[in-house]
Structure 1
Amino acid sequence: MKTLTVLRHAKSGWDDHVARDFDRPLNPKGHRAAQVMGRHLRDRQYRFDRIVASPAQRVVETLAGVADGYGEALTIDWDRRLYLASAATLLDCIHELSDVHDQVLMVGHNPGLEDLVLSLVPDDGSVTRDAVEAKYPTATIARMSWDGDWTTIRTGGATLESFVRPRDLDPSLGPDEF
Structure 2
Amino acid sequence: MELYLMRHGIAEDGEPGMADSERRLTPEGKTRAAATLKLARRAGVRPDLILSSPYIRAMQTARIAKEELSVAEEILELPTLVPHGVPENTWNELRDYANHASLLLTGHEPQISHLIAYLLNSPGLMVEVKKASIVRIELVSTGPAPRGVLRWMIVPAMVD
TM-score, normalized by the shorter chain, greater than 0.5: yes
**Do structure 1's residue 42 and structure 2's residue 41 form an aligned pair?**
yes
1:158 to 133, 145, 148: 148
> What's the counterpart of residue 158 of structure 2?
168
Query: What root-mean-square deviation, in Å, do the aligned CA atoms of Structure 1 and Structure 2 show?
Result: 2.3
Tell me: CA distance 1:147–1:135, structure 2 relative to 1, closer, same or farther (3 Å).
closer
Q: Write the deviation string for residues 82-131 of structure 1: whole angstroms up to 9, x where unpaired.
A: 22222222222223x233211111111111110111232266xxxxxx8x
Q: Write the deviation string for residues 22-68 of structure 1: whole angstroms up to 9, x where unpaired.
A: 11001122111111122122212211122111121101221233344
Tell me: CA distance 1:89–1:55, structure 2 relative to 1, closer, same or farther (3 Å).
same
TM-score by length of 1: 0.76
Greater alpha carbon shift after TM alignment, 66-75 vs 134-143: 66-75
Instruction: Give identity over the alignment, percent.
Output: 21
Aligned length: 157
> What's the counterpart of residue 19 of structure 2?
20
Larger Rg: 1
Q: Which has the higher helix share?
A: 1
Report the secondary structure of 1:100's partner residue: coil
Amino acid at match of 2:139: W
Aligned-partner Cα distance in 1 for 2:155–2:20? 24
TM-score by length of 2: 0.84
> What's the counterpart of residue 136 of structure 1?
129
List alignment gaps of at least 5 residues for structure 2: none
List alignment gaps of at least 5 residues for structure 1: 124-129, 171-178
**Is the 1:56–1:83 Cα contact (8 Å) retained in structure 2?**
yes
After TM superposition, list the pairs within 5 Å mapping 1:1-178 onto structure 2.
2-14=1-13, 19-70=18-69, 75-84=74-83, 85-95=85-95, 97-121=96-120, 133-148=126-141, 150-151=142-143, 153-154=145-146, 157-170=147-160
After the TM superposition, which segments of 4 or more aligned residues of structure 1 sit over 6 Å from their partners? none
**Is the 1:146–1:153 Cα contact (8 Å) retained in structure 2?**
no
